[in-house]
């Protein structure tokens, strides 16, 4: 069913389910579902729900399963593209729905007849009010709603009108079907909620067979019951919808099961937004290149950026489940990504901001090979050889002409070790016509190979990486950073502001880096650690054979403050 490891963290949901299993409720079975609407791409908030629902099925196997069911009840916003992307996301996270791929549209005929049953019982009626009038008459938290003038239509009249709604006799907005519950209920969701509306729109699966569509709050509980779901797990915003869920399950006859709903706090994350509506706005308004832009918190975006399924699952487990809203730190997610990639990513040398170094005492035409470890965390990864010659590139950030305190890298007259090679000393700084530093002239100490300490000189404190200038590859590297400049952009924008005002203009920087020649063969979709720099991923969409493009997944931790 999954290649995801089975773990069983403790939380109130799992304690509830364990008690149900012990009491043999539903025969001891645990049947969950993940019910996305195919109106956009999934994001990290959905990942939490996916890991919960599919994880519970794994933890309670063999008497458990999880369904993937698409809530495709709004054809004006839904597309097959979104269906396929959601399926891909769930599988990428390591989960499988097996034979249990379902759609709310599978049940349109049954849902229609359930509505007829409610009408016959006097529990539903056709209303001629517009949706705007319904909202206006719903009342407030302190005042009851106003009953529709059509609330007391007879079942016979309602049945006729509902059949004509299905037949397409009325234009959109002319009539709706409402459940007849309680216009004075303190729960606004029970004030005769709309359960069907007229939509003359083409459906991605049923084409033009229907012109009336059920509302989510109606279709969801009844679809759960039809699939014999035991535990319908939702985020907290659906807590006040639970009484309607239970009302429908209790009042519709002939259901094979009576599931129940419980809620948990949704995932909120710093420096991003987790709202399909807002993410769609970023795509539509051109702030990002698409749903899979690596700056996006969509699952397709983080996948392209190089996040791993194991890291996302570990993050969701670490965040856990609570009943209270909270905001999780992006830094925690990045920590989980680093923890996974540190064990698995191949190491290479890459210089993002090249500064040329000439070793004046190194033979001009000599090229040697230096053996480097591919992954110090994994001895089985072996070693590789990279060329070393008289002219090198180091990162410009590893040189400081006027060093601040505790800067232990290269400075004029100072000495630093080239990792896996030898120590060098900066003798001269070369500038261009505008005064910019373009080259460093250095000498090397052959006696300091293989980690040998300098003789008669202070201990060398700094070690830096490098690439041979003659052999370096020019490679496009995309440096991704936080999507927003503030931790909570929606809160910062307030009710009348625009969250896009806080987009980070430095969320993407494209540089031409100098990389060791081994990366020429890098395949799309492979993780690397650029030593001392960060974790990178060959872009699976735009990389080509012999011409990789690298996306920065996360930087390495840097305890040293950048000089200003």
Cα–Cα distances (Å) from 129 to 156, 188, 298, in that order, read: 19, 18, 39
Cα–Cα distances (Å) from 47 to 59, 90, 323, 562, in that order, read: 17, 8, 18, 34
* 3-state DSSP assignment of residue 428: strand
Catalytic residue among 33, 48, 180, 276: 276
Catalytic residue among 77, 205, 266, 356: 266
Inter-residue contact 174 to 125 (CB < 8 Å): no
Q: Around Cβ 62, how many Cβ atoms within 10 Å?
A: 7
Q: For tokens 């995801």, name the residue.
A: 4
- 321's tokens: 């489940």
- 476's tokens: 């496009």
HSE on the CB side for 283, CA within 13 Å? 17
What span, in angstroms and rounded, lies between the C-alpha atoms of 331 and 319? 12
* Full strand arrangement of the beta sheet holding 534-538: 346-348, 527-530, 534-538, 549-555, 473-480, 508-515, 350-351
276 is annotated as an active-site residue = yes
What span, in angstroms and rounded, lies between the C-alpha atoms of 176 and 214? 10
Inter-residue contact 305 to 542 (CB < 8 Å): no
What span, in angstroms and rounded, lies between the C-alpha atoms of 398 and 536? 20
What span, in angstroms and rounded, lies between the C-alpha atoms of 209 and 538? 45
Inter-residue contact 505 to 481 (CB < 8 Å): no
| Alpha carbon distance, N-terminus to C-terminus of the chain | 53
Burial environment of residue 267 by CB neighbours within 10 A (0 to 12, 13 to 18, 19 or more): buried
What span, in angstroms and rounded, lies between the C-alpha atoms of 423 and 541? 40
Inter-residue contact 96 to 158 (CB < 8 Å): no
Catalytic residue among 37, 79, 339, 427: 37
37 is annotated as an active-site residue = yes
* 3-state DSSP assignment of residue 412: coil
Inter-residue contact 477 to 550 (CB < 8 Å): yes
197 is annotated as an active-site residue = no
What span, in angstroms and rounded, lies between the C-alpha atoms of 30 and 48? 18
Helices (H), 389-539: 489-493
**Residues designated catalytic:** 37, 266, 276
């Amino acid at each position: 069913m999954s290649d995801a490891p089975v773990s069983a963290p403790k939380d109130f949901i799992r304690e509830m389910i364990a008690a149900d299993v012990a009491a043999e409720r539903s025969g001891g079975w645990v049947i969950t579902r993940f019910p996305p609407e195919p109106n956009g791409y999934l994001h990290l908030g959905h990942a939490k729900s996916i890991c919960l629902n599919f994880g519970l099925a794994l933890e309670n196997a063999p008497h458990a399963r999880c369904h993937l069911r698409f809530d495709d009840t709004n054809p004006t916003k839904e597309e097959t593209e979104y269906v396929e992307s959601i399926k891909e996301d769930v599988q990428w996270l390591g989960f499988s729905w097996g034979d249990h791929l379902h759609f709310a549209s599978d049940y349109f005929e049954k849902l229609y007849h359930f509505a007829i049953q409610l009408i016959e019982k006097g529990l539903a009626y056709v209303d001629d009010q517009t949706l705007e009038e319904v909202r206006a008459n719903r009342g407030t938290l302190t005042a009851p709603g106003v009953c529709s003038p059509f609330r007391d239509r007879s079942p016979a009249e309602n049945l006729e009108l509902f059949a004509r709604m299905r037949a397409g006799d009325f234009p959109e907005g002319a009539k709706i079907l409402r459940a007849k519950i309680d216009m004075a209920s303190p729960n606004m969701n029970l004030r005769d909620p709309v359960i069907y509306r007229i939509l003359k729109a083409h459906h991605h699966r049923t084409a033009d067979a229907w012109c009336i569509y059920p509302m989510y709050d109606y279709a969801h509980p009844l679809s759960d019951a039809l699939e014999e779901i035991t535990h319908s797990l939702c985020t907290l915003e659906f807590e006040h919808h639970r009484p309607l869920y239970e009302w429908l399950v209790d009042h519709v006859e002939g259901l094979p099961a009576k599931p129940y709903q419980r809620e948990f706090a949704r995932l909120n994350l710093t420096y991003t937004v987790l709202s399909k509506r807002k993410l769609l706005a970023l795509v539509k308004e051109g702030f990002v290149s698409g749903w899979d832009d690596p700056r996006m918190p969509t699952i397709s975006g983080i996948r392209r950026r190089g996040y791993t399924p194991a890291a996302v699952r570990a993050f969701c487990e670490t965040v856990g489940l609570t009943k209270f809203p909270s905001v999780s730190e992006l830094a925690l997610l990045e920590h989980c990504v680093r923890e996974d990639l540190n064990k698995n990513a191949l190491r290479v040398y890459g210089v993002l901001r090249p500064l040329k170094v000439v070793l004046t005492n190194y033979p001009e035409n000599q090229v040697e090979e230096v053996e480097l470890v591919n992954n110090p965390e994994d001895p089985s990864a072996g070693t590789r050889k990279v060329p070393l010659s008289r002219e090198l590139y180091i990162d410009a950030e590893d040189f400081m002409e006027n060093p601040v305190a505790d800067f232990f890298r290269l400075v004029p007259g100072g000495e630093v070790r080239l990792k896996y090679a030898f120590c060098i000393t900066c003798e001269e700084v070369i500038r261009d016509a505008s005064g910019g530093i373009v080259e460093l002239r250095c000498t090397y100490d052959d006696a300091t190979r293989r980690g040998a300490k300098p003789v008669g000189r202070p201990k060398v404190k700094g070690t830096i990486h490098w690439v041979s200038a003659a052999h370096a590859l020019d490679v496009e590297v995309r440096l991704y950073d936080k999507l927003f400049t503030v931790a909570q952009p929606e809160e910062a924008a307030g009710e009348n502001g625009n969250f896009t005002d806080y987009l980070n203009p430095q969320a993407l920087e494209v540089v031409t880096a100098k990389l060791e020649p081994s990366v020429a063969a890098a395949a799309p979709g492979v993780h690397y650690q650029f030593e001392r720099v960060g974790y990178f991923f060959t872009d699976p969409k735009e990389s080509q054979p012999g011409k990789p493009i690298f996306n920065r997944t996360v930087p390495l931790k840097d305890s040293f403050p950048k000089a200003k």
